[in-house]
Amino acid sequence: MEKKENHARIIFHIDMNQFFCSVACILNPKLRGKAFAIGRENTKKGVLSTASYEARKYGISSAMPTIDALKILPSLIVIHVDYSHYVEYHHKFINLISEYTKQIEVASIDECYIDVTELSKVRHPLVIAKEIQKRLLTEYDLPCSIGIAPTLYLAKMASDIKKPLGVTVIRKRDIENILYDLPVKDIFGIGKKTYPRLMENGINTIRDFMNLDNKEKILSLIGENSYNYAYQSLKGNSSNVVNPNRYAVSKSISESTTFDYHLSDIDELSYEFRKMTRSVYNKMKRENYYTKCVTITLRDSDFNTITRQESYNEYTDDFYKILGSVLTLLDENYVEKRYRLIGVGVSSLLKEDELPKEYNLFTVMNEDEKKIRIEDMMDEFKNKYGKKALFWNKDNK
Q: What is the pLDDT of residue 299?
A: 87
pTM above 0.75, yes or no: no
Q: Delineate the domains of the chain, giving CATH numbers in brackets.
A: 8-171 (3.30.70.270), 180-244 (1.10.150), 248-385 (3.30.1490.100)
Asked whether 190 and 184 are in contact (CB, 8 A), the reply is: yes
Bridge partners (DSSP) of residue 254 are 345
Bridge partners (DSSP) of residue 304 are none
Q: What is the pLDDT of residue 375?
A: 63
Q: Which of 336, 333, 248 is nearest to 295 (CA)?
A: 333
Beta carbons within 10 angstroms of residue 47's beta carbon: 20
Q: Which of 199, 165, 238 is nearest to 9 (CA)?
A: 238
Give the three-state DSSP class for 175. Answer: helix
Q: CA–CA separation, 143 vs 32, rounded Å? A: 13
**pLDDT of the chain, 397 residues: tens digit per residue:** 334 445 789 999 999 999 999 999 999 999 999 999 998 888 887 788 889 999 999 999 987 899 999 999 999 999 988 877 888 999 999 999 999 999 999 888 899 999 999 999 999 999 999 999 999 999 999 999 999 999 999 999 999 999 999 999 999 999 999 999 999 999 998 877 788 999 999 999 999 999 999 999 999 998 888 899 999 999 999 999 998 877 654 478 888 888 777 888 888 899 999 999 999 999 888 888 999 889 999 988 877 888 888 888 888 999 999 999 999 999 888 888 888 889 999 988 888 777 765 434 344 444 445 555 566 666 666 666 666 656 656 554 4
Q: In what order do the strands lie in the sheet with 36-38?
A: 50-51, 36-38, 77-79
| Residue 88 annotated among the catalytic residues of the structure | no
Q: What is the pLDDT of residue 263?
A: 83
Q: What is the pLDDT of residue 92?
A: 94
Q: 220: number of CA atoms within 13 Å, CB side?
A: 6
Q: What is the pLDDT of residue 338?
A: 86
Q: What is the pLDDT of residue 332?
A: 87
Active-site residue identified among 99, 111, 176, 314: 111
Q: What is the pLDDT of residue 304?
A: 80
Q: What is the pLDDT of residue 4?
A: 42
Q: What does the radius of gyration of the chain's CA atoms come to, in whole angstroms?
A: 24
Handedness of CA 377, 378, 380, 384 (dihedral sign): positive
